[in-house]
Structure 1
Amino acid sequence: MSPRVTVLLDESRRAHDGGGPRPVRIYEWRAARDSAPLVVLSHGTGGSALDLSWWAEPLCEAGFDVVGLDHHGNSHVDGYVAEAFVWWWDRPLDLSFVLDHVAPRGPVGACGFSIGGYTAAAVCGARVSAEAYRAMLTGAVEAAPTPEYPGLADEIVARYGSLPDRQEVARAWVSKAAADYRDPRVRAGFLLCPLGAPVDVDSLAAVDVPVAVSWTANDQSLPAPQNALRYARHVPGAEGGVVGSADSGHYGFVLPDQDDPKAKADVVDASVEFFTRTLAR
């Protein structure tokens, strides 16, 4: 099942090279039935929507239109840009931009993996904690490692200087990171191994759409107690649980050499059931 691929241009934001509008590549899997609900899909750090074809295709076969997108500068398809790994706010803006340009045939949901899980949560109303993001920028709290971009911190310092000494830059980034990116068109969110440690708990308590959270038992990259379980415990009515086996980790969803068929199958079953129920007209 091959998706239709299109590159949209967001005139309201600049591409990271400054040469034009921000590109947003989308992959469309269209269901056979009419009036299909739409699920927008956000990839993890450095990934691509095509890495999650194992998820998009069964959703489409179950009767959902699926639109995945590549986040500019944070996708291996076009290469990496340091800012795209720290300017998290561009991700939910990408989802809302896609909804502006892809006409849904039915109710809309969002799903995502890793930081894509945060992205889906953001359009459901989750917000980054200003204090947590500021602490990460200034080094007061050690940021989680970024194996996809090992030189990230050094490159940011080389380009902007030490952020503790660049208060105007830090303030601007914190303000954007902690803003509200809720999109009222999104009626449900499914979060897979989501980034959650920097998310403000009070914002989770105010989420008013159905949310499901899935995580693995042996996630060493985004351990569930500090990440997925923050959503599961604080979003009202959140559902979900562990997928895969006791050995399932973070990258079995996207890296071929760590492929985890059981975890993937569990996610497909859970998300099809969840969106069938929550996106019913």
Structure 2
Amino acid sequence: MTDMAADGPEIVLLRDTSRDDLTAPGRPRPVRVHRWRARGGGVPSPPLVVVSHGTGGSADAMRWLTGPLAAAGFEVVALDHHGNNHVDGYEPEAFLQVWERARDVTFALDVLAAERPLGPVGAAGFSLGGYTAAALVGARLRRAALARVVSGGIPLPPLPEFPDLLAALRARGHGEDLAALLTGCDADLTDRRVRAVFQVAPAMGALLSPESLRSVTVPVEVRWGGADAVTPYEVSVRPYVEHMPTTRGRSLGPAVRHDDFFAEAPADPTAAPRAAADAVAFFAARLGSPAAADGRPGQGAGLR
């Protein structure tokens, strides 16, 4: 299925035959891709940035980031992660098996690479999408920590979509022992095509292996809010900043909250535009300027 809005991205629904649809076992997993093509048809392999949304979000909710990246001339691909996006509805398994999101990105890149050679690739993400981007460059979850979560030994963070996620999983027929759902949780999901990562308020830091974070070799830039109670710096963000040797980061301000990146009326309406501008500059420096690749001066603009 393909759709194209006059002022929006091309939207394609892909199917990954290696994994099941959570709503219909035996049917391939859906991976919806929103794609902004780079300006300039003569550029065979423009810089590409893939964008991952936060838990329960959507590709469309990431317009604050995808829009500036596309306007700067990058090819941009944003995903709707199956079972974890508000467009299609929520599936409890997707809120636990967050590592499947990185596999969504690799699958989408494989499909694009089958069309033509890819240019330099970057990954960006907000909240759980920030974890997704880090997983693509080597960050790995600690199975023992997740096992304590599903056993109740470590409390789950608040999830408005599933106030009692573990009960929702048991109600789906997974039984009292949820450990079987953790298969593959600590797999190495590195995608060698990803050359740079930009994270905004990244989640899951406390559940990641410090050793895996120390193994990251690509440049990583991090931004966070000083008043973020959902992914607070000390718990969620600090492990990325402290353990990844190639990381640089800074706060967007002491009053910036998590919902300033998706609320209709954010407390600080400048937070998301400032983070997006930083992402554009970061990827231009790390992947190459899209305008330079296109052979034209300036920043480039618009969609093709």
* TM-score bucket (shorter structure): over 0.9
Deviates more, 1:248-257 or 1:180-189: 248-257
Bigger RCO (CA 8 Å, 6+ sep): 2
Deviates more, 1:260-269 or 1:87-96: 260-269
> What are the Cα deviations for residues 193-242 of structure 1, in whole angstroms up to 9, with x where unaligned?
11111111110000011111111000101111111121111101201211
Asked if the contact 2:216/2:246 (under 8 Å) is kept, the reply is no
Query: What stretches of structure 2 of length at least 5 have no aligned partner?
Result: 1-6, 294-304
> What are the Cα deviations for residues 40-93 of structure 1, in whole angstroms up to 9, with x where unaligned?
111001110100111101111112111000011111101111101001121000
Aligned residue for 2:245, secondary structure, equals: coil
- Structure 1 distance, partners of 2:161, 2:279, is 27
Alignment of 1:21-170 (within 5 A): 21-33=28-40, 34=43, 35-103=45-113, 105-158=118-171, 159-162=173-176, 166=177, 169-170=178-179
The structural deviation recorded for 1:259 is: 6.0
State, as a whole percentage, how many aligned pairs show the same letter: 43
| Letter of the 2:73 counterpart | G
RMSD: 1.5
Give 2:185's aligned residue: 177
- Structure 1 distance, partners of 2:66, 2:143, is 33
2:13 aligns with one of 7, 10, 23: 7
Give 2:298's aligned residue: none
Aligned residue for 1:118, secondary structure, equals: helix
| Letter of the 1:10 counterpart | D
Give 1:192's aligned residue: 200
> Are positions 1:216 and 2:229 aligned together?
no
Alignment of 1:197-208 (within 5 A): 197-208=206-217
Asked if the contact 1:222/1:250 (under 8 Å) is kept, the reply is yes
TM (normalized to structure 1)? 0.93
- Structure 1 distance, partners of 2:185, 2:267, is 32
Deviates more, 1:8-17 or 1:30-39: 30-39
The structural deviation recorded for 1:157 is: 2.4
Aligned residue for 2:82, secondary structure, equals: coil
Give 2:284's aligned residue: 276
Give 1:262's aligned residue: 270
Aligned residue for 1:257, secondary structure, equals: coil
Instruction: Decide which structure has the larger Cα Rg and report it.
Output: 2
- Structure 2 distance, partners of 1:13, 1:138, is 26
| Letter of the 1:232 counterpart | V
- Structure 2 distance, partners of 1:250, 1:74, is 18
Deviates more, 1:62-71 or 1:259-268: 259-268
Aligned residue for 1:212, secondary structure, equals: strand
Aligned residue for 1:96, secondary structure, equals: helix
- Structure 2 distance, partners of 1:259, 1:16, is 36
- Structure 1 distance, partners of 2:239, 2:47, is 28
- Structure 2 distance, partners of 1:230, 1:257, is 30
- Structure 2 distance, partners of 1:86, 1:113, is 17
TM (normalized to structure 2)? 0.86
